[in-house]
Amino acid sequence: MEPAMSDPSDTGPVGPETPMDEMDAVVLAQVHRFFTAADPVPGDLYTRVRFALDLERAERELATLCDDLSVGSAVRGAERAHTLTFQSDSVTITVTLTQGSSDDGTVRLDGWLDPPGSLRVELRTAGLRLQTMSDECGRFVIQDVSPGEVQLAVHPTPGGDIELVRTVETPPFVL
């Protein structure tokens, strides 16, 4: 059913106070469809907004990416491992990303904290939070993580080997 169109010969006043008619609704719906197709909302927008809001909390310290190294032989085959190093005033977090224990596309994270010590480490995704403890040497492992955007957080741990004043978080990175 076609919407009723205004009479083009109607020269009544049109302004911000003029109520919307059916033609206005049709035009707005078409503009909405155009922009949705031309510039869709990014799939990771929710995660990026949540990360930005979390940064506003003063009790957190942001670790910055200071090294990004791919390990493996490009001549012999595909890249086998990827190592990221994040640094903050309190702790350095190094993680090596390798293929998970099965061929389902999951990733294994082997991590190290410097200074070494036993602390609670949390891996966050848009819908999941996994926690583990680093050992006294600062080593931790998180297995079978699905590909996508993740973030690591190292939390102050009562009785831990390292005195953290606040949680240290990495910026989001993609597995």
Question: Tens of pLDDT along 16-25?
Answer: 788 888 988 9
Residue 53 pLDDT grade (very low, low, confident, very high; cuts 50, 70, 90): low
Distance CA 134, CA 138 (A): 5
Distance CA 48, CA 90 (A): 24
Full-model pTM? 0.62
Mean pLDDT of 146-161: 89
More confident call, 107 vs 10: 107
* C-alpha angle 47-91-115 in degrees, rounded to nearest 5: 145
Position 9 scores a pLDDT of 54
**β-bridge pairing 92-99 and 107-114:** antiparallel
